[in-house]
């Protein structure tokens, strides 16, 4: 049995009383009962609002929905508008239209791999790295000294590693548009000049006559001109649970599958203009390369860049204008700030952290196709979920607890008898559901001998079985089907009381989104199985629905506890959506999709559409454009949105969302558009993924504070040392510090941290505040040590240690042993800082991972060995004694202890103030929304600059590709977001106006 179940029209003829022959032949006509069997409301066909006598094949008429809607107008007008007939187009006209409308396929842009790789060097962090490399290899070449090859090679190596990781990640991401295109039918049966033939589906044009049968994929959007028992599965496009019955005049979508019957139709749209094509264009429309993490990295990079810039300018004026340094000496000091100031490996460290996190999520059967989505998942505040196949099983089930009975049979008896009246082979969805309810499907034919079976057909709208009961030998008959049809057959117990009960039950089912299936039974008092029985008796009403997955409710509850709000966004009917929401505890405060166009009712509780979307528990009857619009508006309200789905109809929203999640069993299109693909049934993996992503987020936040603090500590420290003591630290040793630091920090990817119970967010004001406080404190520790070494002989008097040549004081401010001492002191305490930034309390209260602790110990051992044994002339360092090593270690331990107290002091003062201001701003925004006052969210100038620095990466690729001849012109059109926009109609109309149809009527 197919769905939707259509309303019974009924008859208004007089009723003859067969039980009382003496009664009058005619009685007053009874009220016609309307049984609201669940199904789609049918829209009556309309006529085109254009002058059909002067119509030409012009897009401004053809695709202007104010004048005509090819999906709903009468088929006769479709033929007139498309200037075709049932004999099909001529070969010449088909060729002409193919040139005008383009091929019936989706176009995707191919990026040049080399340019894509280069694009990862196009951001502020990379620019500073590249600038430092140029300074080392070009500007440092002078005054009889060779270029600084050591620094150049080290910087370029890190830059290439970072770019390769980003390139590898993006190159391996799925191409959603390609997956959508691949699922289109490659061949189509078309009538040209009265003859049927098979052609490539890409050659179809509007006006073609096509045919398809069971198992075929519909090759283009079409209107049916002939339909024989046709049922179309379009769940992957519209989200509807069941295959849909189609009749003459109905529309079939490109990419849907014919499950029953055969049909002929006229093509009304092809390629990007089809329902399927519009979904594909939405997937490719937005440039998601400017991800959330990239924007954060841009702002952190800008912070480091500004810090470096300030002190580089100060050094230029002070060292050259004030101290009269020669060119090369001053340049080495500037190079120290460039190399040490920028967190050179930040993108690499964060990429490794995310990659390791992706491997950890894979243990929970979640495959991450875009690793930066992990960071965004940690900050997600709203989860928009498709219903069919995501929240539910996409498998119809009988709700046993709601079965209604009207006779002597129990609910189990009714289900068994309904199973008798069902096919056991080649089943449709309804028959499979009823037979499956038995548990043991063999019971559907056990104990009976099948004599006659009438399968479902669109005319009778019911099935019927006549059988012999083997235990008694009696003939019996059972029928099941549409309520209005079945009750008319029930002559034995069709009383007003029964009809009233039935009408009330059907009404209740419809309100709850349950499909009603009536069951009737009769016995035959003879042995002729084709003869009439003693009259049907209504025995039961079966409620059929698509049940939620067993773990869905728990998953939703867990998500809510984590501070993530769940909204249902489904293509199914409103009543079904509300019932599913009630069963899952989501709520039933849901709206039909038309409110997205019409907006809230005047005088209602919602002052704006945005407010309505934010308040709703879900939306029903949505198309891909609606899902996309909902996600986009929620993002505009400042939320990070995750979207789950399984079909091609979900692909646009999956692509638009901050985190797209394709559930188990999803189509290739959905998997290609998603950032995370689940390989196990159910949504419980999402909760694991959210928790895992928040652990990963904490690791990245800890590193960001550390990296920014090291930037401040290096830049401020060595600039002040240069200003105060003319101290010239070797640039190569700064690079060694950076390499050892970043090698240690890589182990943060497996560090022990606790996830937060609320969505995470990058509060850069907090990060920078901590960084400045830590950085200035560590700067002070180094300056104090250098000042004591230069100004006093304290260490010689107390510990007997000397400098180069046995000096008791570093009278030579650039003593090579002093360089080694400063190197060791900076290396030790800079790495030790991570133990403070990774903990919320005292550093010793939160045990680090063995990997982090081991890496720290190894790095410090290497740093100590370098300080003791490295006599590298080009670095201007000289090995120091064991006494100095002990002094530096004790010095750093003494300075390390107060770092925790600085953290607590910051939390109690500056950080507390920042959070209070942030919460006050949020409360004010919420108050404004609740009172209906529109809240305008504007982006700061700085944030806009940060975003543009990253977003121009894509424009850089495209401009370069066109100039050097790589790749093809971009084919995605922003106007494809709307179904047939005025811009598209104007463009296509202008083209067609220059090429009027040769077949137009004179």
Ramachandran angles phi, psi of 241, nearest 5°: -70, -40
Helix 816-837 with 684-725: angle, nearest 10 deg: 150
Q: Which residue stretches of 68-220 are H helix?
A: 75-82, 91-101, 113-119, 124-134, 149-171, 176-182
Q: What span, in angstroms and rounded, lies between the C-alpha atoms of 830 and 840?
A: 19
**Could you give the 3-state DSSP secondary structure of residue 754?**
coil
- As given in the structure block, the two tokens for residue 828 are 């030790």
505 sits in the region (left: phi over 0; alpha: psi -120 to 50; else beta) called alpha
Paired with 199 in beta bridges are 188
* Tally of CB atoms within 10 A around 428: 20
Residue 731 φ then ψ, to 5°: -60, -35
Cα–Cα distance between 948 and 925 in angstroms, integer?
26
For the chain, the straight-line distance linking the first and the last C-alpha, in angstroms and rounded, comes to 48
Cα–Cα distance between 15 and 27 in angstroms, integer?
A: 6
| CB of 607 closer than 8 Å to CB of 574 | no
Q: Do 255 and 184 touch, CB atoms closer than 8 A?
A: yes
**Which residues are tagged catalytic?**
386
Cβ contacts of 326 within 8 Å, gap of 6 or more = 143
Report cis status (omega within 30 of 0) of the bond before 4.
yes
Main-chain phi, psi angles of 550, to 5 degrees: -65, -30
* Strands 565-569, 590-592: pairing kind: unpaired
Tokens 């002190």, located at residue: 311
Which two tokens mark 778?
């560590």
- Lookup: tokens for 333: 């000091």
Alpha-carbon dihedral sign for residues 226, 231, 235, 241: positive
How distant is the alpha carbon of residue 595 from its chain centre?
Answer: 23
Task: Evaluate whether 723 touches 659 at the Cβ level (below 8 Å).
Answer: no
Find where tokens 């405060």 sit.
589
Pairwise CA distance, residues 397 & 353, whole Å: 44
């Amino acid at each position: 049995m197919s769905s939707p179940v259509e309303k019974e029209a009924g008859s208004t003829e007089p009723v003859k009383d067969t039980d009382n022959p003496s009664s009058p032949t005619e009685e007053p006509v009874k009220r016609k009962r309307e049984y609201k069997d669940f199904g789609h409301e049918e829209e009556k066909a309309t006529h085109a609002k254009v002058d059909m006598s002067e119509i030409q094949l012009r897009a401004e008429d053809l695709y202007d929905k104010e004048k005509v809607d090819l999906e709903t107008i009468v088929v006769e007008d479709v033929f007139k508008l498309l200037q075709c007939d049932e004999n099909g187009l001529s070969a010449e006209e088909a060729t002409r239209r193919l040139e005008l409308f383009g091929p019936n396929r989706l176009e995707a842009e191919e990026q040049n791999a080399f340019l894509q790789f280069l694009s990862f060097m196009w951001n502020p962090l990379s620019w500073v790295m590249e600038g430092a490399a140029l300074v080392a290899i070009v500007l440092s070449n002078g005054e009889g000294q060779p270029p600084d090859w050591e620094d150049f090679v080290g910087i370029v190596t890190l830059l290439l590693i970072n770019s390769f990781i980003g390139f590898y990640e993006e190159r391996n991401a799925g191409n959603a548009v390609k997956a959508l295109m691949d699922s289109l039918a490659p061949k189509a049966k078309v009538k040209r000049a009265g003859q049927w033939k098979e052609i490539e589906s890409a050659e179809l044009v509007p006006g073609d006559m096509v045919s398809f049968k069971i198992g075929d994929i519909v090759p283009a959007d079409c209107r049916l001109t002939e339909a024989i028992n046709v049922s179309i599965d379009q769940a992957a496009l519209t989200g509807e649970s069941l295959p849909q019955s189609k009749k003459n005049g109905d529309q079939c979508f490109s990419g849907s599958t014919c499950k029953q019957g055969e049909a002929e139709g006229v093509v009304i749209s092809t390629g990007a203009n089809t329902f399927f094509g519009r979904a594909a264009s939405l997937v490719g429309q937005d440039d998601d390369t400017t991800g959330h993490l990239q924007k954060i990295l841009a702002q952190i990079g800008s912070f480091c860049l500004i810090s470096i810039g300030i002190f580089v300018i100060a050094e230029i004026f002070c060292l050259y204008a004030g101290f009269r340094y020669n060119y090369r000496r001053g340049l080495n000091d500037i190079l120290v700030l460039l190399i040490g100031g920028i967190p050179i490996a930040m993108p690499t460290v964060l990429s490794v952290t995310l990659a390791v996190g992706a491997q950890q999520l894979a243990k929970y059967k979640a495959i991450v196709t875009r690793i930066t989505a992990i960071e965004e998942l940690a900050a997600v505040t709203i989860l928009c979920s498709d219903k069919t196949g995501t929240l539910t099983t996409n498998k119809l089930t009988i709700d046993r607890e709601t079965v209604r009975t009207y006779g002597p049979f129990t609910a189990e008896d009714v289900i068994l008898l309904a199973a008798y009246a069902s096919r056991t082979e080649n089943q449709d969805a309804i028959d499979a559901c009823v037979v499956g309810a038995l548990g043991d499907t063999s019971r559907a034919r056990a104990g009976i001998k099948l004599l006659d079976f009438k399968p479902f057909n669109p005319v009778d709208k019911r099935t019927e079985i006549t059988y012999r009961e083997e235990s008694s030998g009696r003939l019996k008959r059972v029928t099941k089907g549409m309520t209005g049809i079945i009750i008319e057959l029930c002559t034995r117990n069709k009383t007003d009381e029964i009809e009233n009960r039935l009408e009330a039950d059907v009404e209740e089912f419809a309100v709850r989104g349950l499909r009603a299936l009536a069951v009737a039974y009769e016995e035959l008092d003879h042995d002729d199985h084709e003869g009439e029985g003693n009259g049907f008796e209504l025995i039961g009403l079966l409620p059929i629905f698509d049940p939620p997955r067993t773990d869905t409710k728990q998953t939703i509850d867990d998500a809510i506890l984590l501070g993530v709000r769940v909204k249902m966004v489904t293509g199914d009917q409103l009543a079904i959506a509300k019932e599913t929401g009630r069963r899952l505890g989501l709520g039933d405060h849901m709206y039909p999709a038309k409110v997205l166009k019409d907006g809230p009712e005047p005088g209602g509780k919602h002052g704006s559409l945005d407010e309505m979307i934010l308040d709703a528990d879900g939306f029903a009857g949505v198309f891909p454009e609606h899902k996309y619009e909902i996600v986009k508006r929620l993002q505009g309200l400042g939320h990070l949105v995750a979207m789950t789905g399984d079909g091609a109809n979900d692909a646009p929203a999956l692509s638009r969302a901050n985190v797209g999640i394709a559930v188990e069993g999803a189509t290739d299109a959905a998997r290609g558009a998603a950032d995370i693909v689940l390989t196990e049934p159910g949504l419980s993996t999402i909760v694991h993924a959210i928790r895992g992503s928040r652990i990963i987020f904490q690791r990245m936040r800890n590193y960001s504070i550390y990296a920014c603090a090291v930037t401040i500590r290096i830049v401020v420290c060595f600039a002040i040392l240069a200003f105060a003591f003319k101290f010239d630290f070797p640039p190569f040793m700064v690079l060694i510090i950076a390499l050892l630091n970043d090698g240690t920090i890589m182990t943060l990817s497996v560090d022990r941290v606790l996830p937060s119970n609320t969505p995470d967010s990058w509060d850069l004001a907090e990060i920078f505040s901590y960084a400045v406080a830590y950085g200035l404190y560590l700067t002070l520790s180094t300056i104090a040590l250098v000042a004591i070494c230069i100004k006093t002989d304290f260490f010689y008097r107390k510990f007997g240690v000397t400098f180069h040549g046995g000096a008791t004081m570093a009278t030579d401010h650039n003593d090579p042993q002093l360089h080694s001492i400063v190197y060791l002191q900076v290396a030790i305490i800079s790495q030790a800082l991570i133990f403070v930034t990774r903990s919320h309390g005292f550093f010793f209260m939160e045990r680090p991972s063995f990997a982090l602790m081991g890496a720290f110990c190894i790095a410090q051992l290497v740093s100590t060995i370098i300080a003791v044994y490295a006599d590298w002339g080009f670095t201007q360092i000289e090995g120091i004694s064991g006494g100095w090593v002990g002094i530096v270690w004790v010095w750093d331990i003494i300075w390390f202890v107060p770092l925790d107290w600085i953290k607590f002091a910051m939390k109690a003062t500056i950080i507390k103030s920042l959070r209070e201001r942030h919460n006050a701003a949020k409360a004010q925004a919420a108050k404004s929304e609740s009172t209906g006052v529109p809240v305008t969210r504007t982006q700061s100038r700085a944030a806009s600059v940060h975003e543009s620095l990253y977003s121009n990466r894509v424009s850089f690729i495209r401009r370069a590709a066109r100039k050097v001849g790589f790749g093809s012109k971009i084919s995605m059109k922003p106007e494809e977001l709307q179904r047939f926009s005025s811009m598209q109609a104007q463009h296509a109309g202008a083209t067609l106006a220059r090429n009027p149809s040769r077949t137009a009527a004179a």
